[in-house]
Structure 1
Amino acid sequence: MAPEIFLTDARSPLTQEVEVLDEHGQRRRISIPAERALTVFVDRRELVTLMTLGAAPELLVIGYLRNQRLIDAIDDIESVTVDWDVAAAAVKTRRGVADFEKKTAKRVVTTGCGQGTVFGNLMDELDRVDLAGPTDPAGRLDQATLYGLLDAMRRQESTYKSAGSVHGCALFRGDELLTFVEDVGRHNAIDTIAGWMWLQGIDGRDKIFYTTGRLTSEMVIKSAQMGVAIVVSRSGITQMGHELATKLGLALFGRATNRHFICYSGFERFDSQPEIARPAPATQAS
């Protein structure tokens, strides 16, 4: 039996009301997303400060440690304690982090919203990626399922709809929504999902990852590390994101809204059904 992990359940408001002046000269109150700093300490050593919405800070921290490959197994974590009064998350491990200084010496400021930070050895870890093969049904996607996924996201209630200015990420099995996370940066949202998967022991091989943000190298790397071979985005893609996806064999879909999308890579994983791209025309009454 796996050792029990102690987690706080730190809560904080996701939005805040502010007074604004609109184009008609009218003052009114609207909601905007909250943004707060969370400094992460691992065994009392400061690691990083994350700017976050704060929806699920414990899962964010766990996913961050996983995606940075600073901790190899979920069982290595004894506790994650978040205290918003001091804006800190304290992680206690069971055996410490081997080569902590070496692993955290090289930092790369990414294109993540709010300037995400990754540690420089991630590229060296890509040979550990284990994805379902393109002929494995678990690693394939058909057009009807893609449309079902996009419709589920269209109907999903979100902070973005009420306040804007956040990114959303989701994990699907087929067109079934498993979990949905929003944060001020897409890298935080994907880390939170990674933490949820790790904590629940969920395999990514038959899953689909969705994001509202652009498909950068960071997003591609983290999706692959989660074992997810199919990634769908409402936005576009960068050159390095495309190169890495092609190298790793991921299927990337961008500009995906309603019944429109572009498949940028991994064509062999996609079962195209162009006949359902548009609804059938209505028949005229005789």
Structure 2
Amino acid sequence: MVKQSNKTTSQIIRIKGDKIITTEDFLVREVPITLFLNDKEFVTMVCSPQAVEELAIGFLCSEGLLQSLDEIKNIWYDEENGIVYLDAPGIEAESKFLKRNITSCCGRGRPVFYFVNDAKSMNKVTTDLMITPGMVWDLSDRLEEMSTLFQETGGVHNAALCTPTEVVYFYEDVGRHNAVDKIFGRSFLDKIPLEDKILVFSGRISSEIVIKIGKMGLPVIISRSAPTDLGLEMAKQLGITVIGFAKGEKMNVYTYPERILG
């Protein structure tokens, strides 16, 4: 099966000062993907059309529905119709999750319970991981270098799972939550330990992103953007080091600075 491209082109009129030209420009592709869980329509996600199975699994993990790889009996992607089928007979999804449509925008819908309840039910992250400012800047620079789709379209977010010196996984998606879920899904499938890993991210560090990081058990998140106040409150509860505005040789360390070696 040929994987769908994450980008396409469109004819545009470009105006710069008094110059007007007709040209083509790259656009990021955005598609709806419907997840059928145990033969029942479960949720529709709007995303970039690659690593769709990882997205579906990561989404279920981040919602607390998938706990073990053994729970997945089968998964397959019907690319033509935009449907992911996942068989996990042990999941009682309807009693734990309110069916809703998920958009790629920042205002992603949630049930009436909020993330604070999620945070209170999670274990605090513990780790021996220590990193230097130089490692932070290097990983941030690597994320930017790898973000070729963003450079061409300006329309995606990027996320990378890293050790202090290497990139393990890298994903791009129109939705910043989706990019993190793809990381979650791939690491879940590969059964890799996460207590010594770092998430490097292009988007703002909101409460929802922090909850996802906490559920993964990651001790550090590095972003080229800013955190929110609720995101930091939850990071303090969950034991997560939050680093924002990591660009060039600058960064802000908001929580647990003891993990950043002087």
How does the TM-score come out when normalised to structure 2? 0.91
**1:79 deviation in Å?**
1.7
Secondary structure at the residue paired with 2:193? Answer: coil
1:282 matched to which residue of 2?
none
1:252 matched to which residue of 2?
242
8 Å CA contact 1:35, 1:51 repeated in 2: yes
8 Å CA contact 1:66, 1:72 repeated in 2: yes
1:18 matched to which residue of 2?
10
**1:221 deviation in Å?**
0.6
2:210 matched to which residue of 1?
220
Q: Give the distance between the partners of 1:109 and 1:124, measured in 2 at CA.
A: 20
8 Å CA contact 1:10, 1:84 repeated in 2: no
Q: Give the distance between the partners of 2:237 and 2:99, measured in 1 at CA.
A: 24
8 Å CA contact 1:81, 1:90 repeated in 2: yes
One-letter amino acid matched to 2:229: Q
Do the aligned partners of residues 265 and 143 (structure 1) sit closer, same or farther apart at CA in structure 2, a change above 3 Å counting? same
Q: Residue by residue, what CA displacement relative to the aligned partner does 1:189-211 show, whole Å, maximum 9, x if unpaired?
A: 00000000000001111101011
1:85 matched to which residue of 2?
80
Residue 30 (structure 1) aligned to one of 21, 25, 35: 25
Do the aligned partners of residues 118 and 190 (structure 1) sit closer, same or farther apart at CA in structure 2, a change above 3 Å counting? farther
2:47 matched to which residue of 1?
52
**1:157 deviation in Å?**
4.6
8 Å CA contact 1:68, 1:122 repeated in 2: no
Do the aligned partners of residues 183 and 71 (structure 1) sit closer, same or farther apart at CA in structure 2, a change above 3 Å counting? same
Where does the alignment leave 5 or more consecutive residues of structure 1 unmatched?
Answer: 1-8, 273-286
* 1:132 counterpart = 2:126: yes
Q: Give the distance between the partners of 1:254 and 1:108, measured in 2 at CA.
A: 30
Q: Give the distance between the partners of 1:204 and 1:118, measured in 2 at CA.
A: 26
Do the aligned partners of residues 251 and 108 (structure 1) sit closer, same or farther apart at CA in structure 2, a change above 3 Å counting? farther
**1:114 deviation in Å?**
5.5
**1:163 deviation in Å?**
1.4
**1:10 deviation in Å?**
7.0
Residues 18-167 of structure 1: pairs in structure 2 closer than 5 A: 18-23=10-15, 24-93=19-88, 95-98=89-92, 100-105=93-98, 113=105, 115-118=107-110, 120=113, 123-126=116-119, 127-129=121-123, 131-133=125-127, 136=128, 138=129, 140-167=130-157
**1:154 deviation in Å?**
3.2
Q: Residue by residue, what CA displacement relative to the aligned partner does 1:34-78 show, whole Å, maximum 9, x if unpaired?
A: 000001110111211111011200100010111111122111011
Q: Give the distance between the partners of 1:166 and 1:69, measured in 2 at CA.
A: 26
8 Å CA contact 1:215, 1:235 repeated in 2: yes
How does the TM-score come out when normalised to structure 1? 0.83
One-letter amino acid matched to 2:96: K
Percent identity, aligned pairs only, is: 28
Q: Count how many residue pairs are aligned between Structure 1 and Structure 2.
A: 257
Q: Give the distance between the partners of 2:195 and 2:116, measured in 1 at CA.
A: 21
Higher alpha-carbon deviation: 9-18 or 256-265:
9-18
Q: Give the distance between the partners of 1:79 and 1:209, measured in 2 at CA.
A: 28
Secondary structure at the residue paired with 2:73? Answer: strand
**1:96 deviation in Å?**
3.2
Q: Residue by residue, what CA displacement relative to the aligned partner does 1:183-230 show, whole Å, maximum 9, x if unpaired?
A: 001100000000000000011111010110000001101011111010
Secondary structure at the residue paired with 2:10? Answer: strand
One-letter amino acid matched to 1:131: V
Which structure is larger by alpha-carbon Rg, 1 or 2?
A: 1
Secondary structure at the residue paired with 1:220? Answer: helix
Where does the alignment leave 5 or more consecutive residues of structure 2 unmatched?
Answer: none
Q: Give the distance between the partners of 1:252 and 1:198, measured in 2 at CA.
A: 23
Q: Give the distance between the partners of 2:204 and 2:253, measured in 1 at CA.
A: 14
